Every structure is written in C-alpha cells, then in structure tokens.
C-alpha cells in the first residue's frame, strides 16, 4: 500500500578532514548516498576508506558521521514526504473520500473482521458434506443413486431420440406422399405449408423434450442435494454407526441389474508405465504412463457396467480432495465454436445430470461470456487481427460425473502446423501446455493426461518419423515444465502423468514411442535386495 509511493532520493554526504601539512586546509569528501539506505553504513565506510585512501584513524569518526547522516536524512525524507501529504490534506487538495473508500474496500475484502460474508459459502458446505459422506458407509448408496439418476436421464434421452426419429419418419412419409401427388391433388403451396408445419412440429417436439429433460435434471439435482444434506444430518446423529441410509431415493427405483452385464471392459492393450526422478539435486518422483487410447475414453461411462461404477467411485472419492485428476484435450476453437470432435464427444459423455457443477453447456456459455472482455483486451494489446480465443489459450470445465477425470483443460490449437507440421517449443500450443501444467500443479491436480502428439487421431500425413519427432518434443517440454512447477510449488504435485497416444497407433510405433520415455526421463532404479557375501 505504502511502498509504491516511496521514491528513493539521493543525498550528498559531505565529510572533510585536515590535510597533513596544513591544519586549515581540508580534504573534502562528497559521496552521494541513496536515502533510505538499504545496506549497512559501516560497509559503505570501508569502501570509502579503500577507494579514497582515507587514513584509518578516521574510521570511527566516519562510521559515526555517516550513520548519523543516514539516520537524519532518512528521518527527514519520511517527514518531508508526510508533511507534503498532510499539507495537501489540510488544504483540501486530496481526494479524501477516494482514499478512504480504497482503504475501506481493502479491509472489507481481505480481512475477516470487516468482511461482509463470514463463514463458508453454500458451495463449500455442500462440498464438505459430500466429501464426508463419500468417505462413510453411505458411499455405495450414493453411487447407486447417482447411477440410477444417470440411467434415467440416459433413458429419457433414448426416448427422445426415438420419438424424434419416429416423428421424422412420419414426416418424411407424409412429405413423399405429398410430393408424389404434386400437381395431382396438391400444389406447391401445400407442400410449403406442410414443410412449415413439419418444422414447427419438430421444434415443438425438441422443445418439449428439452424442457422435460431440464426439469428432470433440475429435479434430480435438487432431490439429490436435499437427500445428501439430510443424510449428513443423520450421519452426525448416529455418529459412526451409519450403515446404509434408510430414506434413500433408491427405494423408488427398481435395483438395476448391475451384475447381469459382462464385466469385460476393453481396456487399452498398449500401455507402459515408468517411475521417474526429476530434478538435478533434489529428486522428485513421478509416475509416467504411456497409453494408446481415445482421450474420451476417460470421460465416457457405461452406466450399466459394474466395472465402470468402480471407476466412478475413484472420482467421487477424490472430487473434493486435493488429489484431482484432469485431462488435456486439444480443442479446435473457443467454448462456443463447437470445438470439434473432443468437445462434441464430451457433450455426449456429460449428458447425465451433474449434481455438483453446472451442465457443460452452461459452463461453456459462462466461460464464453467471461472470456470475451479479457480476450478482446489481450487481442488489442498484442495486435492480433482475428477476434476470439487464440491458439494456446486454455479454458477449463469441471465435472463430477465422469469416470476418470474431474477437470478438462481445453487447449485451443488448430492450425496446420500443429496438426501435421513441425512445431518448436515456442509454439503457442506448447506455451499453453505449460500454463496447463502450472495451473494443474497450483490447484492440486495430482494426475493429468496429456495427448502425446497434441492431436487425437492419426491420419495419412502423420508418418512414424513425424510422430516420434512430435512425441520427443512434447515429452521434453513436459519434463521441463514439470521441473519448473515442482521447484515453484514444492511437494509432490503432478504425481502421475499419462501420455495418451491416438487409439489407432500401430504396436510397433507405440513401442518406439514408449522407448522414448526412458531416454528422456531418468527412470528410478529398482530396489535391489542386497546380497551379502557369505
């Protein structure tokens, strides 16, 4: 608050001492000294003595004089500045109201005693409640409830799709019929009229389903939250002895035939993992894993599959902990531009109601809204012609209903170079990746999945050599970023890093990629049992 206004000044220290032959003739010493003086005056005296060959018998005197000089000048410096301020105040030259308001704001926004809102926000209370409950015997019930909610939504979605499909079929038939009878019993006008009616019907149906879905999700969310808070109350009453909550909404569902489905989930066949050490002197341990799969596999869940339920369990347990999981997806454009394949896939994946955060659409809309101004300002300041987000920008969505991740970092980047050409470590996408890792480390993300090639699928232009080149660049950059994050934050952040190669990576290419890892990272030595000579 105050130091911004402090401007240092230079004052001249004058000292004189007699010449050796004539007592009246004086050597004069003038030294500019910065006020307030940051260093030690005694050290300055030593430098003066050395530089100007001042006789040592003057040392004590010089020490005393200089200290006094600095003390007096500093005092004068402060007093003069304050006097000017106070005089201005007396003469009414200062904006008193503005200053007071500024202080008031500072106190109100930063110090508990003066803050308006005390205690935790509703969000935090719910977070604490949920976190407590998922770490209690109620966990299983909660997951089942959430699962059945999700199933309901998915079923409704299915019904909608069917309904709309039927409608479309009927309309197509009708239209064909009409077209066939063109100029016989119907006119062009009739057809136009019919088309209009069809369109209205379609939008009406879509609207009806939409509102029905919204209502369903809203109701689910409200009911779920109320039930959770309620259960927490009981949990406190019974203390630790809670087994299964009695009033669970499960009663209204028929138990889903969980075990009926086959348990075999196609897990990625191509994967390899390493434990690595990073850092030159102080080593930090991380796990790195390379895997060939679709990034969206982390986000899709089959609600009828018991194995997937266990995947959900992981994220539910750690949702409000400080061990978050995240993934990075390369997005074609900003939050509103549809974003290309990953975003569309994410839309599908997040179809079920999110009981903790706003729905994906709402989040994206909110981000779009709030991004507009800062992005525009930025674009103006760097002189960028195109409006909207640029490559390297990142937006972040939060999810509670995905199986493997809590956070999705959408890294904007879709240019020809990124897709197929060669990029350097100074490419915006790499800088964006650095920001992602930094944000992840600062916000307690302990596990993050990164697209190894910064693209999600292979195509003809991506040769094996290109893939290796790109992978090497990404790995090396990530290594640097992680070291940087580790030294800034401290502690074992980003404990696990997954590098995700496109799902259609050929086995031999994958093997080559996996071989890159131990050459770039130092893998840790296995612990060997000591064999003592007999």
Partner 1 sequence: MGVDEDGYIFAACTFFAKNHPGEMCGSNGLPLTPSSVTILGQAQRLLHLEHPNLCTYLDVIRCKHERIIVVSEVIGKSLNDFKSKFSFDQIMNIGLQVANGLNFLHKQDIMHRTLSDDNILIDNYGYVKLFNYGMHYMTKGGNEIPFPLGLPRYLSPEIILGGGGPSADVWSFGIILLELCIGKLWQNLRPGPILRRILTLVHAGNTAERIAREHDHYDAYKQVPETLRNIIEKCLKIYPSGRATFSELVHDLSALDSKQMVEVKRPQGLLGCKLQVLYHLWQLAGGDIQSELKKNCLIKNSPPILSMPIAILLDGSTIGGKTGALFDRRIAMYSLKLLKQRLSHISPHDFYPLMHERKKEYDAVTLPKIIRERDTEYQFYRLLWFNRLLHGYPHTASYIRAEAEIDIPPLVRGDVWAALLGISGDIEDQYERIDKETPTPTDRQIDVDIPRCHQYCWLLSGERGHRMLKRLLKAWLLTNPQYVYWQGLDSLTAPFLYLNFCNEARAFACMQAFVPKFLHKFFLKDNSSVIKEYLAKFWQMTAFHEPELATHLHEIHFVPELFAIPWFLTMFSHVFPLHKIVHLWDALLVEGPSLPLFMGVGILRQLRDTLLSSGFNECILLFSDLPEIDIGECVKESIIMCRSSPRSISYRRFTKETISKDPMDLIEVPMDVLFSEICPRISLSDFFSLMCQEKCCVIDIRSNLLFDKSCIDGSINVPYSGVHLAQRELRALGLRPQRAIADAVRLNKNVVIASAEHETAQLFSDYLVKCCVPRVCILHGGIQALHANVPSLFTVPPPRNNGNK
Q: Compute φ and ψ for 328, nearest 5 degrees.
A: -110, 125
* Least distance in angstroms from the C-beta of 188 to partner 1: 51
* Least distance in angstroms from the C-beta of 133 to partner 1: 14
- Compute the distance between CA of residue 71 and CA of residue 36 in angstroms, rounded to an integer: 9
* Least distance in angstroms from the C-beta of 305 to partner 1: 25
Pick between residue 105 and residue 267 the one whose CB is nearest to partner 1.
Answer: 105
* Least distance in angstroms from the C-beta of 224 to partner 1: 18
Pick between residue 185 and residue 381 the one whose CB is nearest to partner 1.
Answer: 381
* Least distance in angstroms from the C-beta of 511 to partner 1: 20
The answer to whether residues 444 and 324 touch, using CB atoms and an 8 Å cutoff, is: yes
Q: Which two tokens stand for residue 137?
A: 């015997």
The answer to whether residues 216 and 156 touch, using CB atoms and an 8 Å cutoff, is: yes
- Compute the distance between CA of residue 354 and CA of residue 221 in angstroms, rounded to an integer: 7
Q: Which of 144, 112, 147 is nearest to 353 (CA)?
A: 147
Pick between residue 163 and residue 323 the one whose CB is nearest to partner 1.
Answer: 323
Pick between residue 124 and residue 461 the one whose CB is nearest to partner 1.
Answer: 124
Burial class (CB in 10 A: 0-12, 13-18, 19+), 287: middle
* Least distance in angstroms from the C-beta of 149 to partner 1: 20
Other Cβ atoms less than 10 A from the Cβ of 403: the count is 24
For 343, the 3-state DSSP assignment is: helix
- Compute the distance between CA of residue 59 and CA of residue 49 in angstroms, rounded to an integer: 8
Pick between residue 123 and residue 169 the one whose CB is nearest to partner 1.
Answer: 123
Look up residue 404 and give its DSSP letter: S
For 287, the 3-state DSSP assignment is: strand
Pick between residue 59 and residue 302 the one whose CB is nearest to partner 1.
Answer: 59
* Least distance in angstroms from the C-beta of 194 to partner 1: 46
Pick between residue 451 and residue 486 the one whose CB is nearest to partner 1.
Answer: 486
Pick between residue 54 and residue 439 the one whose CB is nearest to partner 1.
Answer: 439
Pick between residue 160 and residue 372 the one whose CB is nearest to partner 1.
Answer: 372
The answer to whether residues 456 and 330 touch, using CB atoms and an 8 Å cutoff, is: yes
* Least distance in angstroms from the C-beta of 307 to partner 1: 25
- Give CA separation, 246 vs 20, 138, 239, 258, 273, in Å: 103, 10, 15, 21, 43
* Least distance in angstroms from the C-beta of 336 to partner 1: 13
Q: Which two tokens stand for residue 6?
A: 């402090």
Pick between residue 107 and residue 238 the one whose CB is nearest to partner 1.
Answer: 107
For 268, the 3-state DSSP assignment is: coil
Q: Which of 433, 431, 428, 399 is nearest to 414 (CA)?
A: 428
* Least distance in angstroms from the C-beta of 348 to partner 1: 22
* Least distance in angstroms from the C-beta of 316 to partner 1: 12
Q: Which of 382, 390, 371, 147 is nearest to 256 (CA)?
A: 147
- Compute the distance between CA of residue 325 and CA of residue 316 in angstroms, rounded to an integer: 11
Q: Compute φ and ψ for 475, nearest 5 degrees.
A: -60, -45
Pick between residue 363 and residue 505 the one whose CB is nearest to partner 1.
Answer: 363
Q: Which of 532, 517, 513 is nearest to 479 (CA)?
A: 517
For 451, the 3-state DSSP assignment is: strand
């Amino acid at each position: 608050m105050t130091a911004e206004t402090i401007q240092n000044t230079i004052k001249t220290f004058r000292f004189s001492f007699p010449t050796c032959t004539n007592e009246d003739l004086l050597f004069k010493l003038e030294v500019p000294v910065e006020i307030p003086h940051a260093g030690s005056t005694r050290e300055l005296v030593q430098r003066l003595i050395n530089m100007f060959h001042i006789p040592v018998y003057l040392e004590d005197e010089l020490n005393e004089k200089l200290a006094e000089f600095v003390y007096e000048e500093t005092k004068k410096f402060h007093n003069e500045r304050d006097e000017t301020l106070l005089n201005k105040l007396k003469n009414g030259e200062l904006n008193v109201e503005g200053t007071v308001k500024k202080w008031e704001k500072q106190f109100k926004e930063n110090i508990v005693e003066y803050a308006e809102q005390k205690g935790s926000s509703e969000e935090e209370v719910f977070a604490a409640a949920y976190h407590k409950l998922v770490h209690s015997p109620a966990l299983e019930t909660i997951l089942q409830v959430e699962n059945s909610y999700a199933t309901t939504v998915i079923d409704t979605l299915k019904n909608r799709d069917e309904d709309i499909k039927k409608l479309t079929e009927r309309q197509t038939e009708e239209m064909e019929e009409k077209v066939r009878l063109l100029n016989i019993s119907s006119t062009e006008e009739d057809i136009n009229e019919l088309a209009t009616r069809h369109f209205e019907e379609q939008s009406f149906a879509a609207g009806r389903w939409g509102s029905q879905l919204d209502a369903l999700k809203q109701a689910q969310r409200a009911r779920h939250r109320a039930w959770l808070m309620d259960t927490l109350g009981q949990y406190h009453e019974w203390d630790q002895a809670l087994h299964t909550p009695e009033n669970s909404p499960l009663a209204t569902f028929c138990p889903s035939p969980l075990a009926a489905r086959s348990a075999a989930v196609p897990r990625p066949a191509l994967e390899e993992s390493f434990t690595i050490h990073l850092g030159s002197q102080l080593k930090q341990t991380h796990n790195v894993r390379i895997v060939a799969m679709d990034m969206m596999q982390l986000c899709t869940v089959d609600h009828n599959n018991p194995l997937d339920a266990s995947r959900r369990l992981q994220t539910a347990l750690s949702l409000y902990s400080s061990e978050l999981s995240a993934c990075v997806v390369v997005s074609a454009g900003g939050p509103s531009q549809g974003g290309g394949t990953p975003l569309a896939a994410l839309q599908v994946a997040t179809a079920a109601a999110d009981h903790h955060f706003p729905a994906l659409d709402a989040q994206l809309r909110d981000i779009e809204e709030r991004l507009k101004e800062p992005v525009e300002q930025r674009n103006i300041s760097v002189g960028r012609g195109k409006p909207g987000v640029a490559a390297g920008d990142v937006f972040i969505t939060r999810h509670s209903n995905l199986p493997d991740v809590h956070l999705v970092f959408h890294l904007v980047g879709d240019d020809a170079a990124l897709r197929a050409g060669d990029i350097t470590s100074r490419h915006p996408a790499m800088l964006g990746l650095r920001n992602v890792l930094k944000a992840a480390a600062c916000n307690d993300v302990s596990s993050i999945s990164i697209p190894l090639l910064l693209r999600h699928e292979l195509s003809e232009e991506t040769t094996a050599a290109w893939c290796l080149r790109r992978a090497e660049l990404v790995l090396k950059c990530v290594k640097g970023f992680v070291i940087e994050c580790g030294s800034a934050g401290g502690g074992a952040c980003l404990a696990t890093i997954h590098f995700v190669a496109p799902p259609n990576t050929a086995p031999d290419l994958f093997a080559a990629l996996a071989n890159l890892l131990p050459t770039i990272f130092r893998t840790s030595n296995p612990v060997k049992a000591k064999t003592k000579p007999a």
